[in-house]
């Protein structure tokens, strides 16, 4: 019988229960879930600290999953196909990945690229996919010839860790801004680590000394304002998150005096061709041994405790949820 972690209300409680597969939402593909993962958004949903769930309770959270197709009414997928699902409201307004079974629309599924296992897909998960989108956006915008340092903020988190690794592997000199262990970030490829507070206190000046040749920001708030003020001329910041704050108080000067681009990254509604491209790029660019080493595997009944931890900014790397006992 299918099993899932149910939230019984906006502030919990969370409980694991069997359920009838007729209760699964509409969709043309039913998936046997192997792994999900714990993202910052899941932490907010499970603890009730953020209004993430917009579906009726009881609700199955989990914003991503990887598994094999069990039944399909779509010509695009057949039983046994390995698939990944992220975004499109999964774990927000549609039942998500903290379950042994899920149902989705075929047009929202990505075929698992060769070179990635189901476990690795969730060791990357929404966070790794978002980091890849950010790196692709920076690549597309281009770097100046002598770009120098590329910055990643919130560097020890899920998005940040994968972004550090991808940028370093692409040959950039990566500076990681973090409140945690520099040794971990150096292992991922960071050339230098600066304390989170160096940028986190923000800036009162419209422009600072120009330093960064590109940046991936996962924390928003005063940090993002300080990053924008210290970008080199004609460079880009990929803005992905709000772990510090959703507020952004800045001036137009980085944009009109230095030609800085602020690139918004939205993994949720990312169109299918870019989705497939990003997953393919992850399969080609990620060091699989390193990926395994930055993942912690937990079980469904560990999720509430880890959800609390991730909302406190205490998680290093990625947390994979194995849904079967």
User: What whole-number distance in Å separates Cα of residue 177 and Cα of residue 118?
Assistant: 30
State the minimum distance, in angstroms, from the CB of residue 197 to ligand NAP.
9
Smallest distance from ligand NAP to CB 113, Å: 19
Is residue 66 within a helix (H) or strand (E), and if so which, with residue range? strand 64-72
Q: Is 182 in the site for ligand NAP (CB under 6 A)?
A: no
As a whole number of angstroms, the distance between CA 100 and CA 36 comes to 10
Shortest spacing between CB 156 and ligand NAP, in angstroms: 3
Encoded one letter per residue, x for contact with ligand NAP by CB under 6 A and - for no contact, window 188-227 reads: --------x---x-----------------xx---x----
Residues in 100-139 at the binding interface with ligand NAP, rule: CB under 6 A: 126-127, 130
Contact 81, 27 (CB under 8 A): no
Looking at the Cβ atoms of 103 and 180, the one nearer to ligand NAP is 180
Is 233 or 312 the residue whose CB approaches ligand NAP more closely? 312
CA-nearest of 226, 228, 224 to 255 is 228
Residues 231-250 that bind ligand NAP (CB under 6 A): 240-244
**Which span sits near ligand NAP by CB under 6 A: 4-12, 26-34, 152-160, 208-216?**
152-160
Asked whether 320 and 126 are in contact (CB, 8 A), the reply is no
**Sequence-distant (≥ 6) Cβ neighbours of residue 147 within 8 angstroms:** 172, 213, 214, 232, 235
Residues 157, 189, 213, 214: which binds ligand NAP (CB under 6 A)? 157
Tell me if 91 sits within 8 A of 63, measured CB to CB: yes
Instruction: Determine which residue in the list 6, 19, 35, 40 makes contact with ligand NAP, applying CB under 6 A.
Output: 40
Which of residues 125 and 214 has its CB atom nearest to ligand NAP in the complex? 125
Query: Is residue 86 exposed (0-12), middle (13-18) or buried (19+ Cβ within 10 Å)?
Result: buried
Given 45, 60, 112, 159, the residue binding ligand NAP (CB under 6 A):
159
Which residues between 301 and 320 bind ligand NAP (CB under 6 A)?
A: 310, 313, 315
* Residue least distant from ligand NAP (Cβ): 157
Interacting span for ligand NAP (CB under 6 A) from 110-118, 141-149, 174-182, 209-217? 174-182
Of 143 and 184, the one with the shorter C-beta distance to ligand NAP is 184
Please say whether the beta carbons of 64 and 84 come within 8 A.
Answer: yes
- Following DSSP, what letter does each residue of 15-54 receive, concatenated? EEEE--GGGSPS-SEEEEEEEEEE-HHHHHHHHTSS----
Look up residue 232 and give its DSSP letter.
P
Give the residues lining the site for ligand NAP (CB under 6 A): 39-41, 126-127, 130, 154-160, 178-180, 196, 200, 218-219, 223, 240-244, 265-268, 310, 313, 315
């Amino acid at each position: 019988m299918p099993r899932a972690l149910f939230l019984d209300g906006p502030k919990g409680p969370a409980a694991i229960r069997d359920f009838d597969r007729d209760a699964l939402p509409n969709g043309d593909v039913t998936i046997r879930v192997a792994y999900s993962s714990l993202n910052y958004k899941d932490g907010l949903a499970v603890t009730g600290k953020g209004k993430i769930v917009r579906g009726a309770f009881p609700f199955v959270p989990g914003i991503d999953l990887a598994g094999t197709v069990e039944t399909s009414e779509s010509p695009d997928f057949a039983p046994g196909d390995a698939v990944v699902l992220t975004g499109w409201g999964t774990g927000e307004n549609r039942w998500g990945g903290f379950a042994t079974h899920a149902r989705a629309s075929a047009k929202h599924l990505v075929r698992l690229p060769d070179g990635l296992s189901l476990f690795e897909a969730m060791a990357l998960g929404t966070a790794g996919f978002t980091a890849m989108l950010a790196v692709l956006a920076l690549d597309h915008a281009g770097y100046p010839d002598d770009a120098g340092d590329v910055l990643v903020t919130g560097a020890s988190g899920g998005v940040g860790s994968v972004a550090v690794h991808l940028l370093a592997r692409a040959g950039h000199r990566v500076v990681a801004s973090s409140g945690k262990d520099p040794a971990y970030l150096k292992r991922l490829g960071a050339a230098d680590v600066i304390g989170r507070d160096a940028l986190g206190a923000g800036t009162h000046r419209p422009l600072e000394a120009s330093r960064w040749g590109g940046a991936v920001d996962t924390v928003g708030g005063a940090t993002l304002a300080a990053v924008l003020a210290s970008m080199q001329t004609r460079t880009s910041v990929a803005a992905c998150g709000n772990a510090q704050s959703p507020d952004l108080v800045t001036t137009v000067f980085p944009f009109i005096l230095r030609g800085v681009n602020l690139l918004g990254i939205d993994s949720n509604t990312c169109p299918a061709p870019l989705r497939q491209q990003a997953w393919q790029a992850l399969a080609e660019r990620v060091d699989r041994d390193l990926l395994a080493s930055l993942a912690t595997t937990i079980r469904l009944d560990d999720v509430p405790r880890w959800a609390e931890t991730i909302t406190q900014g205490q998680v290093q790397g990625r947390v994979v949820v194995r849904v079967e006992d």
